[in-house]
Amino acid sequence: MFKSLDSNSDRLSDIQIEISCQRSEIRTLIEQNVIISDQSRAASLLALDSLIQRHPRYRDRRCVNAAYGQVYSQNNEDGIIAEIFARIGTDTRTFVEIAAGDGVENTTRLLLDLGWTGVWVEAGEIEGASIRSVMAAAICDGRLVYLQQKVDRDNVDGLIKGAIEKTPDYVSLDIDYNTSHIWSALETLKPRVICIEYNAHFPPTVDYEVPYDSERSWNGTTRFGASLKALERIGREANYSLVGCDIFGVNAFFVRSDLCDEDKFLAPFTAENHYEPPRFDLVQMRGHRRHAEF
């Protein structure tokens, strides 16, 4: 009897060791970007395409949420931005992107390729080194101004005004924690279009934004930024209309209200109408790898 128990115990120990080794191997493969669950992701993307095709909101020509197009962006922002400007036109063809990342993947790199000029703001040292390398030619000839700076609500307005002479057509804000407060601080900047990250964990009827703290950063939890309803309120107070969100539940898009009407965009311009739930499992590099050199 005791021998049998000992044998089972040894077998259980062997199984535990084997599982531990397998976990270690899988973790290593994930870290090496070998396993990305391609089959699962492909199935999810098919389900997403099916949702787009059958949901009446996405079939309305005025809806921008499911606009296709992704060259340098992460969540199909390239397609949505192109669709919005196709409807309202451009003026200065300039942009500002606050939290521009490494310069390989963001929402304005395609605009730069298309002849726009603008400003990137990024605080990260590693990201900044990448930008200086990848975008050296654009920085040298003045098409791109790069500011390695951490923004807060006290410095952001002056920082942007000092870096750009024209009113930009497009502004992107994605600093994770204090995003809504930075937007509120940019009250004198009146671009035609604003793309801003929202916290899709909150229901579309809930008006919530984290208390401002210049020293806080996102800790990987659901506590960050602002709900879509809070951004709708901030936008309305600044004379902007919410015209859509990317289908992955990451970014919201606002158009200056004097350029927005119900013929161009899907009304009502509310969080309840344009909210997309978090589909973060699909926010991975899709398609071909990004082109690093400018």
pLDDT 10s digits, 28-78: 544 444 444 556 556 666 666 777 777 888 889 999 998 888 899 988 899
All residues at 6 or more sequence positions from 177 whose CB lies less than 8 Å from its CB, including other chains = 210, 213, 216, 217, 218, 224, 225
The residue written with tokens 């071909």 in the block is 288
Would you say the C-alpha torsion 20, 21, 26, 32 has a positive or negative sign?
A: positive
Is-contact 142 163, C-beta < 8 A? Answer: no
Position 222 scores a pLDDT of: 81
Residues of the chain with pLDDT > 90, as a percent, come to 60
Position 1 scores a pLDDT of: 41
Is-contact 271 227, C-beta < 8 A? Answer: yes
pLDDT 10s digits, 78-124: 999 999 999 999 999 999 999 999 998 999 999 999 999 999 999 99
Position 38 scores a pLDDT of: 58
pLDDT bin (cut points 50, 70, 90) of residue 281 is low
- Determine if residue 239 is left, alpha or beta; phi over 0 gives left, psi from -120 to 50 gives alpha, anything else beta: left
Check residues 129 and 50 and name the one with the higher pLDDT: 129
Residue 7 above 90 pLDDT? no
pLDDT 10s digits, 151-193: 999 999 999 999 998 899 999 998 888 999 999 999 788 999 9
Q: How many CB atoms lie within 10 A of CB 163?
A: 16
Per-chain mean pLDDT for the chain: 84
- The SS3 call for residue 270 is coil
* Pairing mode of beta strands 240-245, 251-256: antiparallel
Rounded to the nearest angstrom, the gap between the alpha carbon of residue 89 and the centroid of all alpha carbons in its chain is 23
Phi/psi at 189 (5° precision): -90, 120
- Distance in angstroms (rounded) separating the CA atoms of residues 2 and 12: 15
Tokens describing residue 274: 């344009």
Q: Which residues of 90-129 are buried (b: 16+ CB within 10 A; e: fewer)?
A: eebbbbbbbbbbbbbbbbbbbbbeeebbbbbbbbeeebbe
Tokens describing residue 237: 């107070």
- Distance in angstroms (rounded) separating the CA atoms of residues 209 and 278: 17
Sequence-distant contacts of 253-259: CB under 8 A, at least 24 apart: 253/64, 253/80, 253/81, 253/84, 253/193, 253/194, 253/195, 254/193, 254/194, 254/195, 254/196, 255/84, 255/88, 255/192, 255/193, 256/190, 256/191, 256/192, 256/193, 259/88, 259/192
Q: Report which residue type is found at 125.
A: E
Q: Which of 165, 197, 170, 169 is nearest to 181 (CA)?
A: 197
Geometric angle at alpha carbon 251, from 249 and 252, rounded to 5°? 105
Q: Lowest-confidence range among 68-77, 227-236, 284-293?
A: 284-293
For the chain, the C-alpha Rg in angstroms (whole number) is 22
Rounded to the nearest angstrom, the gap between the alpha carbon of residue 127 and the centroid of all alpha carbons in its chain is 16
Position 55 scores a pLDDT of: 81
Residue 119 exposure: Cα atoms within 13 Å on the Cβ side:
21
Is-contact 204 228, C-beta < 8 A? Answer: yes
